[in-house]
Amino acid sequence: MIVAGNWKMFDGPDPRALRAALGDLPHVVAPPYTRLRECVEAGLTTYAQNVHWENEGAFTGEISAPMLQSLGVTGAIVGHSERRLYFGETDLGVARRAHAALGAGLAVIACVGETWEQRESGDTETVLRVQVESVRDLCGTHDNLVIAYEPVWAIGTGKTATPDLAQDAHAFIKSLLDLPVLYGGSVKPDNAAELLAQPDVDGALVGGASLDIDSFVAICRAGS
Protein backbone atom coordinates (compact mmCIF):
# COMPACT_ATOMS: atom_id res chain seq x y z
CA MET A 1 0.00 0.00 0.00
CA ILE A 2 1.47 3.35 -1.06
CA VAL A 3 0.11 6.72 0.01
CA ALA A 4 1.76 9.47 -2.00
CA GLY A 5 1.30 13.21 -1.59
CA ASN A 6 1.50 15.34 -4.71
CA TRP A 7 2.15 18.89 -3.57
CA LYS A 8 1.72 20.26 -7.13
CA MET A 9 2.85 23.91 -7.38
CA PHE A 10 2.48 24.57 -3.67
CA ASP A 11 5.32 25.04 -1.21
CA GLY A 12 3.74 22.45 1.06
CA PRO A 13 4.29 21.72 4.73
CA ASP A 14 7.59 21.88 6.59
CA PRO A 15 9.41 18.65 5.64
CA ARG A 16 10.94 18.13 9.09
CA ALA A 17 7.63 18.58 10.85
CA LEU A 18 6.00 16.20 8.37
CA ARG A 19 8.74 13.63 8.85
CA ALA A 20 8.31 13.79 12.62
CA ALA A 21 4.52 13.47 12.37
CA LEU A 22 4.73 10.47 10.02
CA GLY A 23 6.85 8.39 12.38
CA ASP A 24 7.23 4.94 10.82
CA LEU A 25 4.25 5.28 8.45
CA PRO A 26 5.05 4.40 4.83
CA HIS A 27 4.68 7.46 2.60
CA VAL A 28 5.86 9.22 -0.54
CA VAL A 29 5.98 12.98 -1.03
CA ALA A 30 6.28 14.75 -4.39
CA PRO A 31 7.09 18.39 -3.61
CA PRO A 32 7.93 21.10 -6.15
CA TYR A 33 11.53 20.87 -7.42
CA THR A 34 12.70 23.65 -5.12
CA ARG A 35 11.89 21.56 -2.05
CA LEU A 36 13.22 18.19 -3.18
CA ARG A 37 16.54 18.52 -1.38
CA GLU A 38 14.88 19.64 1.86
CA CYS A 39 12.48 16.68 1.76
CA VAL A 40 15.30 14.22 1.10
CA GLU A 41 17.36 15.72 3.91
CA ALA A 42 14.39 15.46 6.27
CA GLY A 43 14.33 11.71 5.58
CA LEU A 44 11.11 11.66 3.56
CA THR A 45 10.68 9.23 0.66
CA THR A 46 10.81 11.82 -2.07
CA TYR A 47 9.60 11.68 -5.68
CA ALA A 48 9.65 14.37 -8.37
CA GLN A 49 6.45 15.47 -10.12
CA ASN A 50 7.91 14.73 -13.56
CA VAL A 51 11.10 13.52 -15.25
CA HIS A 52 12.45 13.76 -18.81
CA TRP A 53 13.52 10.79 -20.92
CA GLU A 54 16.97 12.14 -21.80
CA ASN A 55 19.83 12.37 -19.29
CA GLU A 56 20.73 15.88 -20.45
CA GLY A 57 20.27 18.17 -23.41
CA ALA A 58 18.56 21.25 -24.76
CA PHE A 59 15.19 20.70 -23.08
CA THR A 60 14.37 23.96 -21.33
CA GLY A 61 12.33 23.51 -18.18
CA GLU A 62 12.90 19.77 -17.92
CA ILE A 63 14.84 17.65 -15.42
CA SER A 64 16.45 14.23 -15.84
CA ALA A 65 16.52 11.06 -13.79
CA PRO A 66 20.27 11.30 -12.96
CA MET A 67 19.80 14.92 -11.85
CA LEU A 68 17.01 13.86 -9.52
CA GLN A 69 19.03 10.92 -8.24
CA SER A 70 21.95 13.22 -7.43
CA LEU A 71 19.62 14.86 -4.90
CA GLY A 72 18.57 11.53 -3.37
CA VAL A 73 15.17 11.50 -5.08
CA THR A 74 13.98 7.91 -5.51
CA GLY A 75 10.99 8.18 -7.85
CA ALA A 76 8.84 10.33 -10.09
CA ILE A 77 5.23 10.85 -11.07
CA VAL A 78 4.63 10.90 -14.83
CA GLY A 79 1.58 11.64 -16.94
CA HIS A 80 -0.40 13.58 -14.37
CA SER A 81 -3.59 14.86 -15.99
CA GLU A 82 -2.48 18.45 -15.32
CA ARG A 83 0.64 17.75 -17.42
CA ARG A 84 -1.50 16.22 -20.15
CA LEU A 85 -4.14 18.97 -20.04
CA TYR A 86 -2.12 22.16 -19.57
CA PHE A 87 1.26 21.22 -21.03
CA GLY A 88 0.32 19.03 -23.95
CA GLU A 89 1.95 15.83 -22.75
CA THR A 90 1.08 12.87 -24.93
CA ASP A 91 0.67 9.17 -24.22
CA LEU A 92 3.93 8.43 -26.01
CA GLY A 93 5.83 11.14 -24.14
CA VAL A 94 4.48 9.89 -20.83
CA ALA A 95 5.53 6.33 -21.67
CA ARG A 96 9.01 7.52 -22.67
CA ARG A 97 9.36 9.38 -19.38
CA ALA A 98 8.33 6.30 -17.45
CA HIS A 99 10.62 4.02 -19.42
CA ALA A 100 13.70 6.21 -18.97
CA ALA A 101 13.05 6.77 -15.28
CA LEU A 102 12.66 3.03 -14.65
CA GLY A 103 15.81 2.35 -16.63
CA ALA A 104 17.71 4.81 -14.48
CA GLY A 105 16.48 3.10 -11.32
CA LEU A 106 13.73 5.49 -10.24
CA ALA A 107 10.35 4.26 -9.05
CA VAL A 108 7.49 5.56 -11.22
CA ILE A 109 3.86 6.43 -10.62
CA ALA A 110 2.24 6.67 -14.06
CA CYS A 111 -1.11 8.49 -14.01
CA VAL A 112 -4.15 7.71 -16.14
CA GLY A 113 -7.76 8.83 -16.01
CA GLU A 114 -10.77 9.98 -17.99
CA THR A 115 -12.50 13.35 -18.08
CA TRP A 116 -16.14 13.76 -17.14
CA GLU A 117 -17.13 14.15 -20.81
CA GLN A 118 -15.36 10.90 -21.65
CA ARG A 119 -17.10 9.07 -18.81
CA GLU A 120 -20.49 10.53 -19.76
CA SER A 121 -20.09 9.44 -23.36
CA GLY A 122 -19.17 5.90 -22.35
CA ASP A 123 -15.53 6.21 -23.36
CA THR A 124 -13.87 5.55 -19.99
CA GLU A 125 -12.53 2.11 -20.86
CA THR A 126 -11.28 3.22 -24.27
CA VAL A 127 -9.41 6.16 -22.74
CA LEU A 128 -7.92 4.03 -19.98
CA ARG A 129 -6.96 1.32 -22.45
CA VAL A 130 -5.06 3.74 -24.70
CA GLN A 131 -3.26 5.39 -21.77
CA VAL A 132 -2.37 2.15 -19.97
CA GLU A 133 -1.35 0.28 -23.12
CA SER A 134 1.06 3.00 -24.17
CA VAL A 135 2.87 2.63 -20.83
CA ARG A 136 2.65 -1.16 -21.07
CA ASP A 137 4.06 -1.27 -24.59
CA LEU A 138 7.22 0.55 -23.57
CA CYS A 139 7.68 -0.52 -19.93
CA GLY A 140 5.80 -3.80 -19.44
CA THR A 141 5.35 -4.80 -15.85
CA HIS A 142 8.18 -3.61 -13.69
CA ASP A 143 8.80 -3.94 -9.95
CA ASN A 144 9.28 -0.17 -9.67
CA LEU A 145 6.19 0.83 -11.65
CA VAL A 146 2.70 1.53 -10.33
CA ILE A 147 -0.29 3.11 -12.06
CA ALA A 148 -2.39 5.87 -10.50
CA TYR A 149 -6.03 6.02 -11.58
CA GLU A 150 -7.02 9.66 -11.28
CA PRO A 151 -10.38 10.45 -12.87
CA VAL A 152 -9.89 14.04 -14.03
CA TRP A 153 -13.36 15.02 -12.80
CA ALA A 154 -12.44 14.01 -9.25
CA ILE A 155 -9.21 16.02 -9.02
CA GLY A 156 -9.47 19.05 -6.79
CA THR A 157 -13.26 19.06 -7.08
CA GLY A 158 -14.31 17.32 -3.89
CA LYS A 159 -16.15 14.85 -6.17
CA THR A 160 -14.53 11.58 -5.12
CA ALA A 161 -15.18 8.46 -7.14
CA THR A 162 -17.39 6.06 -5.23
CA PRO A 163 -15.47 3.05 -3.90
CA ASP A 164 -17.35 0.82 -6.38
CA LEU A 165 -16.50 3.05 -9.34
CA ALA A 166 -12.83 3.15 -8.30
CA GLN A 167 -12.80 -0.62 -7.82
CA ASP A 168 -14.24 -1.20 -11.32
CA ALA A 169 -11.71 1.10 -12.97
CA HIS A 170 -8.80 -0.43 -11.04
CA ALA A 171 -9.85 -3.97 -11.97
CA PHE A 172 -10.08 -2.90 -15.61
CA ILE A 173 -6.61 -1.32 -15.51
CA LYS A 174 -5.15 -4.47 -13.92
CA SER A 175 -6.72 -6.58 -16.67
CA LEU A 176 -4.53 -4.60 -19.09
CA LEU A 177 -1.37 -4.36 -16.98
CA ASP A 178 -0.91 -6.37 -13.83
CA LEU A 179 0.51 -3.73 -11.49
CA PRO A 180 -0.54 -2.04 -8.25
CA VAL A 181 -3.02 0.79 -8.89
CA LEU A 182 -3.31 3.86 -6.65
CA TYR A 183 -6.49 5.94 -6.57
CA GLY A 184 -6.30 9.74 -6.80
CA GLY A 185 -8.98 12.42 -6.79
CA SER A 186 -10.24 14.22 -3.68
CA VAL A 187 -8.89 11.62 -1.25
CA LYS A 188 -9.45 12.98 2.26
CA PRO A 189 -9.08 11.57 5.77
CA ASP A 190 -12.82 10.83 5.89
CA ASN A 191 -13.02 8.82 2.65
CA ALA A 192 -9.58 7.21 2.53
CA ALA A 193 -10.33 4.08 4.55
CA GLU A 194 -13.34 3.11 2.44
CA LEU A 195 -11.49 3.64 -0.85
CA LEU A 196 -8.39 1.82 0.35
CA ALA A 197 -10.52 -1.11 1.51
CA GLN A 198 -11.42 -1.98 -2.10
CA PRO A 199 -9.60 -5.13 -3.20
CA ASP A 200 -7.93 -3.53 -6.21
CA VAL A 201 -7.13 -0.16 -4.65
CA ASP A 202 -3.48 -0.46 -3.67
CA GLY A 203 -2.87 3.02 -2.36
CA ALA A 204 -3.69 6.67 -2.87
CA LEU A 205 -2.27 9.66 -4.69
CA VAL A 206 -3.31 12.66 -2.64
CA GLY A 207 -3.28 16.29 -3.78
CA GLY A 208 -4.87 18.97 -1.61
CA ALA A 209 -5.06 16.89 1.57
CA SER A 210 -1.31 16.18 1.39
CA LEU A 211 -0.55 19.85 2.04
CA ASP A 212 -1.83 19.57 5.58
CA ILE A 213 0.29 17.46 7.91
CA ASP A 214 -2.58 16.10 10.00
CA SER A 215 -4.65 15.17 6.94
CA PHE A 216 -1.78 13.47 5.15
CA VAL A 217 -0.74 11.54 8.25
CA ALA A 218 -4.36 10.41 8.75
CA ILE A 219 -4.53 9.13 5.16
CA CYS A 220 -1.16 7.38 5.51
CA ARG A 221 -2.47 5.76 8.68
CA ALA A 222 -5.63 4.61 6.85
CA GLY A 223 -3.34 2.94 4.32
CA SER A 224 -1.04 1.25 6.78
Catalytic site positions: 80, 150
**DSSP string for residues in 19-60:** HHHHTT---EEE--GGGHHHHHHTT--BEES--BSSSSSS-T
Closest to 135 measured CA to CA, from 97, 183, 181: 97
Minimum CB–partner distance for residue 4 and ligand 13P (Å): 8
Minimum CB–partner distance for residue 16 and ligand 13P (Å): 23
> Which residue has the closest beta carbon to ligand 13P?
207
User: CB neighbours of 158 closer than 8 A, spacing ≥ 6?
Assistant: 186
Cβ proximity to ligand 13P, 137 vs 222, nearer residue: 222
Cβ proximity to ligand 13P, 53 vs 183, nearer residue: 183
Cβ proximity to ligand 13P, 16 vs 218, nearer residue: 218
Q: Which residues bind ligand 13P (CB under 6 A)?
A: 6, 80, 150, 155-156, 184-187, 205-209
Q: How far is CA 11 from CA 7, 19, 33, 34, 39, in A?
A: 7, 16, 10, 8, 11
Minimum CB–partner distance for residue 159 and ligand 13P (Å): 9
DSSP state of 162: P
